[in-house]
Structure 1
Amino acid sequence: MRTVAQTVTRVLADAGVEHGFTVPGESFLGLLDAFTGTPELTLVSTRHESGAAFMAEACAKLSGVPAVAMASRGPGATNLSIGVHTARQDHTPMVVLLGQVPSTKLGRESFQEVDLAALYAPLANWTAQPATAAEVPGLVAEALAQATGPRPGPAVVAVPSDFWDEPFPGPLPAPGAVVAEEPDVAGVAERLAAARSPVVISGARDPRSHRELVAAAEELGLAVYTGFRRQDSFPEDHPHFAGHLGLAVPDAQLKALENADVVLTVGMRLDEVTSQGFRFPLPEQEHLQLPTSALGALRATAPARRRDWSAAHAAVTEFMAPPEFPARSALHPTEVVRALRRLAPRDAVVTNDAGNFSGFAHRYWCFTEPRTQLGPCNGAMGYAVPAAVAAKLVAPERTVLAMVGDGGALMTGQEVETAVRHGAPVVVVVFQNGLYGTIALHQVKSSRAMSAVDIGAVDFAGWARSLGAAGYTVDAREQLEPAIRAALGEDRPCVLDVRTDPDVLTADARLGDFLES
């Protein structure tokens, strides 16, 4: 007879789940045993629970299949929460399995006890804690349904530690389905046909949706914006591309959106950044929504139209054009991104962390292929390195680059050791400027003194070598391309410690400009 834990892993495997990420804990030992004993599942032990959650989120984002994040009660579960919030805000399917205190000790503020279902309620799509061992497999099946429903996201089950090894005599529960409303494709097609200047805001990542959206834009005469950190949902070099709705979007790139009479959102919600502070859609604009699965039907229903989006795309091209750099200037982050783009394969997966440096990747990488960008829409620092490890495990044939600031690298960079242990040769590019640049910019822009933003000098290359990875230091422009070529040629994880100009906060702002005024 199967145990509860063995039944749970069978439910997960039958649903297509392939990976689980965790820091092992004593409150789910039976689940660890069952995961290891299920051939279809791969268990990855990480160095911190936030790394485990970020890996699960990135794994699901890249593959389209839910991954599992696991943690123990109290401290482990709270560490895990940052990546769960990331999955919630980015619509990423994730199943979260938490070990809880034994059922006989619940409600007594036992060692490491937290009301985990209540803790995770605002961070997840759905949470549950079973009252009996027999309920556990059914709740996990329900978690899979909730995680993959019309709004994908994390679903959490907190299980008392004594339940895992209990026998489960019942039939294997099957995941249900959360039914979505049928889209009004005919109505959307009619409105697009009658529109003067319709635009699409897209977050569709998978290859099929990517192809369908390109075809729809060309056939129906649509301009396409991409949502925040979803730049891989439409080719940025396409003549119908109107811009990435990220942070600090120039006015010229918003004109097509401002002038639109119909705004169609595909494959995402309009979060605060994408909507530019909830400014769009404007009150006078008609806002339509469509699932990515309906793009083919839309093409078949809507009449072909031609519209000229050359002015909108010209604004994008101008924005993405890199400036010239004086020969004797310090290394600029733009140069780093452009050199990586030249030398890496076209379909390389880029994981970008949060922070000012990420704006250079958003602006200068030029994403053209689906599922090539993994970034946290909630702005969580420490995402890039764990996400890169997961991406390489999911797609070992692809080049995977993590772009991370020194602050983010010092939060979860220890997952380089996880990459070494699992034979995942990622390339981690650390943009080291010795500063929490985003906070420093906020401080100086509001005429405040800079405080608590200095980061000490770190030998990231030496640190990488101590973890079993390769490490290269780049201090000067002439070292950059040789170091990138060497890193891309490594058969083990590699860290590039790139020392960038500390005066450069963004592509358009220098620290000195504020300090002198």
Structure 2
Amino acid sequence: MTGPTPRWEPFPIGYEERWTVAEITVRVLVDAGVRRAYTVAGDSFLELLDALRFEPLLALVTARQDTGAAFMAEAEGKLREVPALLLGGPGPGVADFLVAVRSAYQDGTPMVVLVEERASVRLSGPGIQDGLAELDPLALFGPFAKWTGRAETAAQVPVLAAQAARAARAGRKGPAVLAVPADFWVAPFDGTIPEPEPLPDDTGAVLRSAHEVAALLADSRYPVVIAGGIGRAARKDLVAAAEQLGLAVYTAYRRQDSFPENHARYAGHLGLGIPPGQLDALERADVVLAIGTRLDEVTTQNHRYPTSGQTLVVIGPGLPATHRRGLTFRIDCEIAPFLKQLVAVGVARSRRSSAANAATHTHMTPPQTSPDHPLVHPADVVRVLRKVAPEDTVVTADSDKTARFVHRYWCFTEPHTQIEPPEGVRGYAVPAALGAKLAAPKRTVVAVISDTAAMMTGQELETAVRHRAPILVVVFQNGLYADIAMHQAAKHGRLNGVSLTAVDFAAWARSFGAAGYTIESPEQLEPTLTRALQHQRPSVVDVRTDPDVIDPDTRLSALFQRVRKS
């Protein structure tokens, strides 16, 4: 045999001309747009792995660890806005998927999770295996899944897989989890192959709502938008609405690519430690349109905005309820058609640009450095990297102090260029960068990560080497658990349990077959980063950063002095 068996043709002579459940399920997922399956290969879904072998449109990516596989799938869903497939075997190992599934649920990221259960003949017993209670995957993922299902018969598997793929994309996107007994995959399939169902049409609701919001905006003096990641696909429509209707646009926390930061209507990123002047437009607003975003604690600046005197309109599919004092409207619809209709019926107005230009573009402001310190300021790393990388570079980061420098100094101008998890997730950046690169092989992809997080899931660098995916990993090595160190310094004026041993990440990278570099002075930044970006294989740049610089606004030494004085 010179190549894979053609899709959906009868088996050669000698085989029974009947497709298995595994083969039909793969076909259903391909028809739904799924292009990659991420897993740590297990013996419980051998038939499914074999079916994937002969499907040219659905590639299999075997990760080094389950958490890495899950982050890869979640990142691809963020970038493509079409679900990737995540495969997990029976037992407690699937618990490693939980953080990624929760992140997908919070961020509205499409994902299909197929979880194997014990063979169906063993599922009817008391739920005890080897003296231990079996883990119920649907109970585990249920609180963080948009849709869950369990196959009771082999014939149900392809049908449920089609439902899972549709549920992951319909309305507000999210993770869909399907549990399948291991022996179902090899069963012959005699049913009808499910056809992809069209997504729901909410045109009527969009038309009515657009007219109502247009009237509200026509009567407002200072309308403001808070744009989130759920509306990334509608970015062009948001830009058109902002320009025609005179809207000042803020971006929600960690969703800076939802609106170009170099646009005249850009008002700022509602993140941590932003300058007070950047909130002027939001402070004076009388109408706030929250488009495709959760109004979390950081985005609302500790629940300060929208104020009770501001009218809030929440726009987007399946967004959670907002409990606040003040007039609130909810429009549950797809964002792109809503904005198109809003532009069509809205009254064009040219408002004073000062509302939008109140933002202080801090990514243009040089950091305050310590000339006498031999190590590199983290802000300089991001600023130089931004200078030498292509405009549409995809940046992945964790939810730690390292990401703060990306938020402050990168300046996001192109769509789908920021891939980050919700708050409290570490070890995301490296596997997420690989998922993004496989989904968009022509884009430059950079992971910005701390030395702490690099040792959590950094082994997926080998997966990148194996798949010939030339990602760039920039490690900020300061030898600290920086988040905890800052709190200890502020509260006690001393550190304990947060120091780390120095790691030669350049040599570590070369041991996997990647390129490795070390930067110990600011003068090395531009030539080294430029060279690393030119490689056609994964590269790691180990930057020895100043441990005194905890985040863009804080130094450990200043915190120590403050505690001593008090």
TM-score tier by shorter-chain length is over 0.9
Equivalent residue for 1:46?
63
State the match for 1:380 in structure 2.
425
Shift of 1:119: 0.5
Hey, what's the Cα distance between the residues in 2 that align with 1:177 and 1:320? Answer: 45
Q: Decide whether the 8 Å contact of 1:350 with 1:372 is kept in 2.
A: yes
Contact 1:503 1:512 in 2 (8 A): yes
Measured in 2, the distance between the counterparts of 1:513 and 1:328 equals 16
Q: Determine which of 366, 370, 382 is the counterpart of 1:322.
A: 366
What is the match of residue 14 of structure 2?
none
Query: Which of 214, 220, 235 is equivalent to 2:245?
Result: 220
Among 226, 250, 257, which residue is 1:201 paired with? 226
| 1:178 shift after superposition | 6.5
1:247 aligns with 2:262: no
Which region of structure 1 is more displaced relative to structure 2, 273-282 or 293-302? 273-282
- Deviation digits for residues 57-99 of structure 1 (CA, Å, limit 9, x no counterpart): 1111111211111111223211122111111111100000111
Distance 1:172 1:496 in 2: 49
Q: Which amino acid aligns with 1:109?
A: I
Which residue in the other structure is 1:434 paired with? 479
Of 98-107 and 202-211, deviating more is 202-211
Residue type at the aligned position of 1:250: P
> What CA distance in whole angstroms lies between the structure 2 residues aligned with 1:297 and 1:412?
44
Deviates more, 1:103-112 or 1:297-306: 103-112
In the alignment, structure 1 residue 392 sits paired with structure 2 residue 409: no
TM-score, with length taken from structure 1: 0.96
Q: 1:425 to 1:44 in 2, by over 3 A?
A: same
Q: How does 1:85-124 map to 2 (within 5 A)?
A: 85-106=102-123, 107-110=126-129, 113-124=134-145
Q: Output one character per residue of 1:338-383: Cα deviation in whole Å (capped at 9) or x when no partner.
A: 0000000111111112211110000100000001111112431111
Do structure 1's residue 339 and structure 2's residue 384 form an aligned pair? yes
SS of aligned partner of 1:133: coil
Q: Percent identity?
A: 52
Task: Report what 1:144 is aligned to.
Answer: 165
d(CA) in 2 for partners of 1:279, 1:138: 46
Does the aligned pair in 1 maintain the 2:397–2:428 contact within 8 Å? Answer: yes
By how many angstroms is 1:180 displaced? 7.0
* Cα drift, residue 204 of structure 1: 4.9
Name the counterpart of 1:470: 515
* Structure 2 residue 131 is matched with structure 1 residue 135: no
Opposite residue 227 of structure 2, the aligned amino acid is: S
What SS does structure 1 have at the residue aligned with 2:44?
A: helix
Matching residue of 2:292 = 267
Deviation of residue 153 (structure 1)?
Answer: 0.7
Structure 1 residue 452: deviation in Å? 2.9
Residues 409-455 of structure 1 show CA distances to partners (whole Å, capped at 9, x for unaligned) of 11111111011001101110001111111122223333375333222
The answer for the alignment partner of 2:96 in structure 1 is 79
Distance 1:109 1:281 in 2: 51
Q: Does 1:303 align with 2:347?
A: yes
Q: Secondary structure of the residue that 1:210 maps to in structure 2? A: helix
Distance 2:358 2:312 in 1: 25
Q: Who wins on radius of gyration, i.e. which is larger? A: 2
Q: Is the 2:391–2:414 contact (alpha carbons within 8 Å) kept by the matching residues of 1?
A: yes
> How has the CA–CA distance of structure 1 residues 270 and 24 changed in structure 2, closer, same or farther, with 3 Å as cutoff?
same
Whichever residue aligns with residue 110 of structure 1, its letter is: Q
Instruction: After TM superposition, give the deviation of residue 247 of structure 1 in Å.
Output: 2.4
The question of whether the paired residues in 1 share the 8 Å contact of 2:363 and 2:410 is answered with no
Q: Is the 8 A contact 1:144 1:155 kept in 2?
A: yes
Does residue 6 of the first structure (1) align with residue 49 of the second (2)?
Answer: no
Between 477-486 and 269-278, the greater mean CA deviation after superposition: 269-278
Deviation of the 1:483 alpha carbon: 0.9
What is the identity, as a one-letter code, of the residue corresponding to 1:436?
A: Y
Residues 70 and 97 of structure 2 are in contact (CA less than 8 Å); yes or no, is this contact kept in structure 1?
yes
Equivalent residue letter for 1:158: A
Could you say what secondary structure the match of 1:446 adopts? helix
1:141-180 equivalences in 2 (<5 Å): 141-176=162-197, 179=200
Question: Residues 449 and 180 (structure 1 numbering): CA distance in 2 closer, same or farther, change over 3 Å?
Answer: farther
Cα distance in 2 for residues equivalent to 1:105 and 1:205: 41
Q: Return the match for 2:72 from 52, 55, 59.
A: 55
Tell me which residue corresponds to 1:210.
235
Match of 2:52 among 22, 25, 35: 35
TM-score normalised per structure 2:
0.88
Superposition CA RMSD, Å: 1.9
Partner of 1:461: 506
Which residue type is aligned with residue 350 of structure 2? R
**Matched letter for residue 467 of structure 1:** F
Alpha-carbon distance in structure 1 between the residues aligned to 2:538 and 2:363: 33
What SS is found at the alignment partner of 1:10? helix
Deviation of 1:284 after TM superposition, in Å, equals 2.0
Q: Secondary structure of 1:439's partner?
A: helix
Distance in 1 separating the partners of 2:423 and 2:48? 30
Q: Which moved more, 1:112-121 or 1:310-319?
A: 310-319
Give the Å deviation of 1:205.
7.1
Q: Provide Cα deviations, 1:1-32, integer angstroms capped at 9, x if missing partner.
A: 22111111111100111111111112222221
In structure 1, C-alpha distance between the alignment counterparts of 2:439 and 2:272, rounded to whole Å:
29
